[in-house]
Chain A
Amino acid sequence: SAVISQKPSRDICQRGTSLTIQCQVDSQVTMMFWYRQQPGQSLTLIATANQGSEATYESGFVIDKFPISRPNLTFSTLTVSNMSPEDSSIYLCSATPALGGEKLFFGSGTQLSVL
């Protein structure tokens, strides 16, 4: 298993600002992901955080809006840039020890509200 620490747990931000969310895993994992959960909706994958290279973004998500870093195997950050009220969501970091067929572990999430 893996324990994932995510911070901040919540934040209230002003329109036009940026917020960086940090994710730390207690053991080495192969895959790290960032999800978004909008109010009343299911989780949507934003991107896969690749160690030492650019993240792989899903359709509808772009690097300029959601820059992601993963400098090593256990740490990743997601930045929500130039925020608008539509960005108000829960953002979740997740990780899996191996590609496919394995449990996905999640951080506790970041509740973001944009005024």
Chain B
Amino acid sequence: DVKVTQSSRYLVKRTGEKVFLECVQDMDHENMFWYRQDPGLGLRLIYFSYDVKMKEKGDIPEGYSVSREKKERFSLILESASTNQTSMYLCASSPEAFGYDEQFFGPGTRLTVL
């Protein structure tokens, strides 16, 4: 079974802190994604990566950056956390394909920025 793991289920940070959210997948998938989920807004794509060291902006990249140094790991970075970044963050991965493959999701990290 594909497994996508995220480093924390719950995280509390202070405004201005640098925050790292880690995601690891164990199925050799090419594509990895970061979403944030907010009530009434569904899932919105922050960044995605289709290869090591490659990244593409999603729909809401402002205030975030990403890193993919190894195929299995995709990190989301909040350079200076703000209260409006309080949200549920979901990581996903999918095999190499173009629009066809399902995405496999991790359990999510609920981030609170105080």
A and B form one complex:
no
A contacts, CB < 8 Å to B: none
B contacts, CB < 8 Å to A: none
